[in-house]
Chains A and B, each alone.
Chain A
Amino acid sequence: MTEKRITIRATRFDPEKDRSPRLQSYDIPFSDESMVVLDALNHIKAHVDGSLSYRWSCRMGICGSCGMMVNGTPKLTCNAFLRDYWPRSITVEPLTNFPIVRDLVIDMESFMHKLKSIKPWIIRKQDYPLGAGEHRQTMEQIDEFRQFSECINCMLCYAACPVYGLNNEFLGPAAIALARRYNLDSRDQGIKERLPVIADSEGIWECSFVGECSVVCPKGVDPAKAIQQTKLDTTMRFVLPYGNRDE
């Protein structure tokens, strides 16, 4: 029985040698139905071309390292099964809208900066002493923000967002969803502190609700929902008399 094979086309770019990225084709054995695109890349690197560079770690969809464009759609390569594409070939490219450092590796420094800018930590007016034990919180209160806390920072949403593509200064879906996660956390009192960054012209108001971010999110965070709800919330605070609350 002849073994199955599959063609993988991967972006190659070495800034020391290449002016712009190009695609390189590899023909590899498709030896197991459970193989994912990441397995294919690992096979290429180990047995065919050791110079292919890409990020990966957990291979179970929780670390967020292995996000790449697979046939034009942002996906976690550890969760993209070859059997869903075979016998067609698979084109693997670095995440769209990001500067390319090398091959399939993108520059995510601007994201790290945005992450920090929304102050993703519990802000309290007065420190709650350790000796007092835990803040009381119910499962219902956790349910309020649980969905937005599931983000693995894989940045597929930024690759899917045309607004971000046209304007790299846009705060972006993941950062705003995380801000909302903290704003909704019953223990946090930092809504006002986050407001200048959120309600900035490059913040929520840059979003025009394309909604593709929520479509590609592998963890169901629904950042589009977070952004629109934040828009409504921010406006109401501005308009209504309770707008100056901290919680």
Chain B
Amino acid sequence: MKAPPASADAPTSAAPRVYKPEMGRGWWLGKRHYFLYIVREFTALPLALWLLWFLVEIQRASNGPKGYYPHSSIGFVVFSVIVLGFALYHTYTFLSLAGVIIHIKGVPARLIVLSQFALWLVASVVIAAVLIGFAR
């Protein structure tokens, strides 16, 4: 939304100089709230990287169970654990805010948040069961 250069009705010639402050690069280190926000946003990056690595692993495993040795992917497992931490943090912050975003008349925000976490739990259990079933 571009603002007009100056009030069209004020005297136009030679408006005095204003000082335009610059936002420093370290702005997000100033407040704890800003820092946690950047961490939350940052989690998208490791998640994306993990997905790419995961695709590589799938490609490697495409030669069948005989050709794929878990111990040759220790790095992947470690990385996965770290990224799991990020993913949990991201999910926790996202679902906590559901009460703010979703507005249903008469339903208190806390209930909405709890229902989101409940859905997440159910979905996680179902997917885990399916994957483990496949693996068996």
A and B touch in the complex (CB under 8 A): yes
Which residues of A come within 8 Å of B, CB atoms? Answer: 13, 15-16, 20-21, 72, 96-101, 107, 109-110, 113-114, 117, 162, 165-166, 169-171, 197, 200, 202-203, 208-212, 215, 222, 224-225, 228-229, 231-232
CA of A113 to CA of B3 in the docked complex: distance in angstroms?
6
A166, B23: Cβ atoms under 8 Å? yes
A100, B97: Cβ atoms under 8 Å? no
A99, B1: Cβ atoms under 8 Å? no
B97, A228: Cβ atoms under 8 Å? yes
Interface of B is mostly: loop
Q: Which residues of A contact B18 (CB under 8 A)?
A: 15, 99-101, 107
Distance to closest chain B CB from A74 (angstroms): 11
Whether B69 is near chain A, meaning CB under 8 Å from some CB there, is no
Place the interface of chain B in its size category.
20 to 34
B102, A211: Cβ atoms under 8 Å? no
Which residues of B come within 8 Å of A, CB atoms? Answer: 1-4, 6-7, 16-21, 23, 27-28, 30-31, 33-34, 37, 41, 97, 100-103
Given contacts A162-B28, A224-B100, A232-B102, contact A171 B19 (CB under 8 A): no
Q: Which residues of B contact A232 (CB under 8 A)?
A: 101-103
Q: Which residues of A contact B33 (CB under 8 A)?
A: 210-212, 215
Q: Which of B3, B19, B20, B103 is within 8 Å of A229, CB to CB?
A: B103
A109, B6: Cβ atoms under 8 Å? yes
* Smallest CB gap from A212: residue in B: B33
* Smallest CB gap from B41: residue in A: A208
CA of A100 to CA of B101 in the docked complex: distance in angstroms?
35
Knowing that A100-B18, A113-B4, A200-B1 touch, tell me 18 more A-B residue pairs with CB under 8 angstroms: A15-B17, A15-B18, A15-B19, A72-B30, A98-B21, A99-B19, A99-B20, A100-B19, A101-B16, A101-B18, A107-B18, A117-B1, A170-B1, A203-B1, A210-B34, A211-B37, A229-B101, A229-B103
